[in-house]
């Protein structure tokens, strides 16, 4: 067979250097190379933007591959197909003749197939005495076999870019949602700061996001939103710290004024290390400053659903927190460390707040360890966390002793 000879097209179609290069490349098939024709086709479909081939042309290529009798492309089995335009049109879902010819030319121009025309332009095969094909005129699929690795690399590149673009858009969506709701919260709570300016800055960034963009176009958008988010977080953190300091000062004043009054004291079991014997004596549990039990239950009502006999005192809250800890996937060591650093009562409040927002927290255990580390460094107070839970539940409460 002379299928590897560079052949010129029939009729008025002219020869080009690109066509000649494709024919020359198709002759350099490594010995023994075999590829699955449909795997090659899928790779080409994924990487079509890189090769500049359209959907219609790929549909015609699919029809051509259907005329190849084997599932694997190999030089040994021959690489020529020679269907008529009528047959091709039927397998291409009734594609019009002019459209079919245009897309066949596109496949040739992209170097995906090689055209070898007969003297009269018809497609056919001539068989020898043994029944084997001696010569065929039609389309050679040799470029698909030669460039299979190139198609696979292109498909992997497109998949990687698509994944990166998806992750970038997810980051933008999360940043947009968080910034908008945090600014709305700050304005609603009358937090000090130029929130109107931040809002205008936010809207300017959002309105500049293009509908169709690649990773490189979205990178500056992500950077701008990240910078804005830092400014919003810093202003809100200052506001929450000021609120917490004010609450602590008012609580200290109440403690001095109530030092000589009678009060009901709830006795709590002392926290012990795991494995250590529990002493029979009980100590008076000091409630977290400024946060009555009723306030905690209003902020975190879901905690009561896990209490067998309800929550009537701090001991009940701590016992329920120890049980809920397991439901949240918090390890015993993480909860023990939190109790040791924060105190049992505060650790129980933190567990209640985490339970209230469980659907928004990916790892409750990891979150608790981060808060514990901040508490150890003197950078954590449960007040802002509790007040955020109150606002989320639509509860307005005054911190009264």
Confidence (pLDDT) at 254: 45
Confidence (pLDDT) at 15: 52
Taking only the tens place, the pLDDT of each residue in 180-220 is 888 888 888 788 888 889 999 999 999 988 888 888 888 89
Please count the other Cβ atoms lying within 10 Å of the Cβ belonging to residue 204: 11
Taking only the tens place, the pLDDT of each residue in 278-311 is 333 333 334 455 578 888 888 888 888 888 788 8
Spatial CA neighbour of 335 closest among 351, 357, 320, 319: 351
387's CB contacts (< 8 A; 6+ apart) are 240, 243, 299
Residue 42 reports pLDDT greater than 90: yes
Question: Which single residue is written with the structure tokens 């079919």?
Answer: 100
Split at pLDDT 50, 70, 90, the class of 262 is: very low
Residue 26 reports pLDDT greater than 70: no
Question: What is the C-alpha to C-alpha distance for residues 340 and 271, in angstroms, rounded to an integer?
Answer: 8
Question: What is the C-alpha to C-alpha distance for residues 322 and 318, in angstroms, rounded to an integer?
Answer: 6
Q: What are phi and psi of 68, to 5 degrees?
A: -80, 125
Q: What are phi and psi of 36, to 5 degrees?
A: -75, 125
Domain range annotation of the chain: 17-146, 162-254, 267-392
Residue 351 reports pLDDT greater than 90: yes
Taking only the tens place, the pLDDT of each residue in 103-159 is 988 898 888 888 886 666 677 666 666 656 657 778 888 888 888 888 999 999 998
pTM of the model as a whole: 0.49
**Report for 124-133, 261-270, 308-317: range of highest mean pLDDT:** 308-317
272's CB contacts (< 8 A; 6+ apart) are 278, 279
Question: Which CATH architecture best describes the domain 17-146?
Answer: Orthogonal Bundle (1.10)
Spatial CA neighbour of 243 closest among 297, 176, 291: 291
Residue 268 reports pLDDT greater than 60: no
Spatial CA neighbour of 338 closest among 299, 369, 293: 369
Question: What is the C-alpha to C-alpha distance for residues 269 and 315, in angstroms, rounded to an integer?
Answer: 8
Question: What is the C-alpha to C-alpha distance for residues 82 and 324, in angstroms, rounded to an integer?
Answer: 71
195's CB contacts (< 8 A; 6+ apart) are 183, 186, 187, 235
């Amino acid at each position: 067979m002379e299928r590897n000879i560079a052949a010129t097209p029939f009729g008025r179609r002219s020869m080009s250097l690109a066509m000649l290069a494709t024919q020359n490349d198709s002759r350099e098939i490594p010995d023994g190379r075999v590829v699955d024709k449909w795997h090659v086709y899928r790779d080409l479909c994924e990487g079509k933007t890189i090769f500049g081939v359209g959907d219609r042309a790929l549909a015609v290529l699919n029809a051509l591959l259907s005329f190849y009798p084997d599932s694997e492309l190999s030089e040994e089995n021959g690489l020529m197909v020679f269907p008529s335009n009528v047959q091709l049109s039927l397998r291409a879902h009734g594609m019009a003749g002019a459209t079919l010819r245009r897309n066949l030319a596109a496949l040739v121009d992209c170097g995906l197939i090689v055209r070898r025309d007969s003297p009269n332009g018809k497609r056919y095969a001539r068989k020898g005495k043994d029944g084997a094909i001696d010569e065929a005129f039609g389309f050679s699929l040799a470029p698909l076999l030669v460039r299979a690795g190139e198609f696979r690399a292109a498909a992997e590149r497109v998949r990687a870019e698509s994944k990166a673009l998806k992750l970038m858009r997810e980051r933008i969506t999360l940043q947009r949602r968080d910034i908008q709701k945090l600014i709305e919260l700050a304005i609603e709570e009358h937090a000090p700061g130029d929130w109107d300016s931040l809002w205008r800055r936010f809207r300017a960034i959002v309105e500049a996001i293009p509908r169709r963009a690649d990773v490189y176009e979205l990178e500056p958008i992500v950077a701008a939103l990240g910078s804005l988010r830092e400014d919003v977080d810093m202003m809100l953190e200052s506001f929450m710290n000021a609120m917490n300091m004010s609450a602590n000062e008012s609580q200290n004043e109440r403690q001095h004024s109530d030092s000589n009054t009678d009060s009901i004291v709830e006795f709590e079991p002392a926290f012990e290390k795991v494995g250590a014997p529990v002493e029979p004596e009980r100590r008076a549990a000091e409630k977290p400053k400024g946060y009555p039990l009723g306030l905690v239950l209003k902020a975190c009502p879901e905690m009561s659903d896990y209490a067998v006999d309800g929550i009537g005192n701090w001991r009940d809250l701590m016992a329920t927190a120890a049980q809920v800890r397991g439901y949240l996937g918090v390890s015993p060591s993480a909860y023990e460390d939190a109790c040791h650093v924060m105190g049992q009562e505060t650790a129980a409040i933190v567990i209640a707040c985490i339970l209230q927002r469980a659907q928004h927290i990916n790892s409750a255990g990891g979150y608790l360890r981060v808060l514990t580390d901040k508490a150890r460094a003197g950078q954590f107070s449960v007040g802002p966390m509790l007040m955020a839970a109150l606002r989320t539940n639509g509860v307005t409460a005054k911190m009264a002793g």
